[in-house]
Structure formats: C-alpha cells, structure tokens
Amino acid sequence: MADFPATVDLQIADHVAVVTINRPDARNAVDASVANGLAAALDEVESRPDVSVGILTGAGGNFCAGMDLKAFVRGEVVRLPDRGFAGVTQFVSRKPWIAALEGYALAGGFEIALWADLIVATVDTKVGLPEVKRGLVANAGGLVRLPRQMPSRIAAELVLTGDIVPASQLQPFGIVNRLVAAGQALEEARQIALKIASNGPLAVAASKRVLQESIDWPRAEMFERQNEITLPVFASADAKEGASAFAEKRAPVWRGE
C-alpha cells in the first residue's frame, strides 16, 4: 500500500476501503496535503482488485468544512489537474463510493459528498454551499450536480442564499440515502458497502457506469449504448458463477472476469 500523509487515512477490510480525511482540528478542511492524499487514496482503491467499494468520511465528528481558506490565501493548490477539488470531484471511478457524513459537510465538503454514489448522514449533519457568502462559487460540482440530484428550484435556493441546513431537510429530495443517529454514519455506510461488495464486481461496475452516463443519452440511443456496456457482463465467467451459485444454493465466488 502507498504511503499517505497524516491528513488522510486508508483502511481496507472485507473488500471495503474507508478513506478518512484526518484534520479534525480544522473540521477536515481541504489543504494541499489533503488534496494530494485523497488523490493517492482514490488511485490506490481504484487499482486494487481486492477492493469493491469505497467509503469517504472525516475524523473527529465532521465530514469536511470545504476548502481551507487559509491555505487558499497562502496559494496552496487544492484543485488537481483532471481531478478537480480535493483530487476527488472530477475523478472518474469504476467503483461505487459512499459518503458517510457527520457534523459539517460544507462547500467543497458537500461537493465531495455529491460526487459519491450514495450518501449516509446523521440527524446532526449540517450541509450547504455557502461559497457565495465569501464571494466564491460552488464550482466543484455544486452548481452542476445539485440541480441534477434534486429539484432545481430547491437547489437554486441553497446555492444562491448560501444557507446551511440540516441534512434531514434534504432527505425528502433524495440527496441522502440513509439518515442515522449521530456517530453511526460510518457503520451504516459500511453495512451498505458490504452488501454492494457481495455482488458481482463486473455487474456493479457496468451498472454504475450506465447509471451515471445515461443521464445525457438521447432516448433513441439509450438501449444501444446500454448494451455496449452491459452485454459483455452476461458473457462473463462471473455471470456463469452467479447462476451456478444460485442453483447450488451457495455463495458465489467472484473473479471479476
């Protein structure tokens, strides 16, 4: 496993990777060290065949307060080429990611969460895109992802007011998959991750790709484009293994091929 800065931790068990932003004294705000550490951690997860799912979380009771404004003033680079803010928000991963939110998930921190495929938050979690209050804009995904993931007028209110709101307020709009008690976000995310990790990795990767890319597909081309991605899965050894395991009433042994 690669070496990571002290500001980012990576733990792997049961085919699940947990990546933790570890700057609790700064509410896990992103400086150059965090950005480079997260980029390295995501690369590690992406390259490892023994990892099926990733979880992103934060240490010390907060997810991430966004960009470290002091680091910004110092000129630290927190947006990496082709990877976006924190080395995350423009990164394309074949594997599913779950954001486990505690405490504050603000500005770029909330945008990191919006990058993930699923979000688990607690009843105490506060989210928001307050960039406009600092003369900045939420261009790490907030402006383009939020209105695709919830009603556009609700998204506009969050963006234009910069208000910070309870995550529970956004659950009815589908931003949050699970809402749990304080301190339980990571464990809930882990339970979801274990369910995903028990499935065929080729099937999961193809399904994720179609879910993400098909938003922009013309209706007339949807099934043709989908079939290009999904039909190879039906011809895979894993597909045969899945069917055999079902017939034999045993757990499948996936090979990812």
Span 10-45, pLDDT tens digits: 999 999 999 999 999 999 999 999 999 999 999 999
On whether both 140 and 206 belong to a single domain, the answer is no
In this prediction, residues 72-76 reach a mean pLDDT of 87
Residue 29 lies in a domain: yes
Span 98-104, average pLDDT? 98
Claim to verify: residue 215 and residue 185 sit in the same structural domain: no
CB 62 within 8 A of CB 28: yes
CB 122 within 8 A of CB 184: yes
- In a domain, residue 107? The reply is yes
pLDDT of residue 206: 95
Based on the domain organization, do 209 and 92 belong to the same domain? no
Closest Cα partner for 30 from 56, 53, 1?
A: 56
Task: Give residue 41's pLDDT.
Answer: 97
Q: How many domains does the chain have?
A: 2
Residues 132 and 86 in one domain: yes
Whether 216 and 140 map to the same domain: the answer is no
Q: What pLDDT is stored for residue 2 in this prediction?
A: 66
Q: How far apart are the first and last CA of the chain?
A: 24
Choosing from 131, 213, 221, 228, which is the catalytic residue? 131
For residue 100, the surrounding DSSP H or E stretch is strand 97-101
> Are 158 and 215 in the same domain?
no
Quote the CA–CA distance of 54 and 20 in Å, as a whole number: 11
- Please indicate, yes or no, if residue 117 is contained in any of the structural domains: yes
Rounded average pLDDT over 178-182: 97
Are 219 and 142 in the same domain? no
3 state SS of 12? strand
For residues 73 and 188, membership in a common domain is answered with yes
Percent of the chain whose pLDDT exceeds 70: 99
Query: Is residue 185 in a domain?
Result: yes
Which candidate, 108, 105, 102, 100, places its Cα nearest to that of 123? 102
Q: 220 and 116 share a domain?
A: no
Q: Which domain holds residue 114?
A: 8-197
Of 82, 123, 83, 102, the residue nearest 189 (C-alpha)? 102
Scan for tokens 């927190």, then name that residue: 78
Q: Quick one: which of 68, 55, 74 has its CA closest to 25?
A: 68
* Catalytic residue status for 111: yes
Known catalytic membership, residue 241: no
41: closest CA among 105, 88, 110?
88
113 and 91 in a single domain? The answer is yes
3-state secondary structure of 165: strand
| Same domain flag for 166 and 234 | no
What secondary structure letter does DSSP report for 186? Answer: H
Chain mean pLDDT for the chain: 95
Structure token pair of residue 67 = 């960009």
Cα 81 to the center of its chain, rounded Å: 19
> What phi and psi values does residue 207 have, to the nearest 5 degrees?
-65, -45
In a domain, 1, yes or no: no
What's the pLDDT at 1? 63
**Inside any domain, residue 256:** no
Q: What is the pTM of this model?
A: 0.94
* pLDDT at residue 189 tops 80: yes
- Mean local confidence (pLDDT), 188-211: 96
Considering the domain architecture, whether residues 187 and 216 belong to the same structural domain is answered as: no
Distance (Å, whole) CA 230 – CA 142: 30
Q: Which of 102, 111, 224, 257 is catalytic?
A: 111
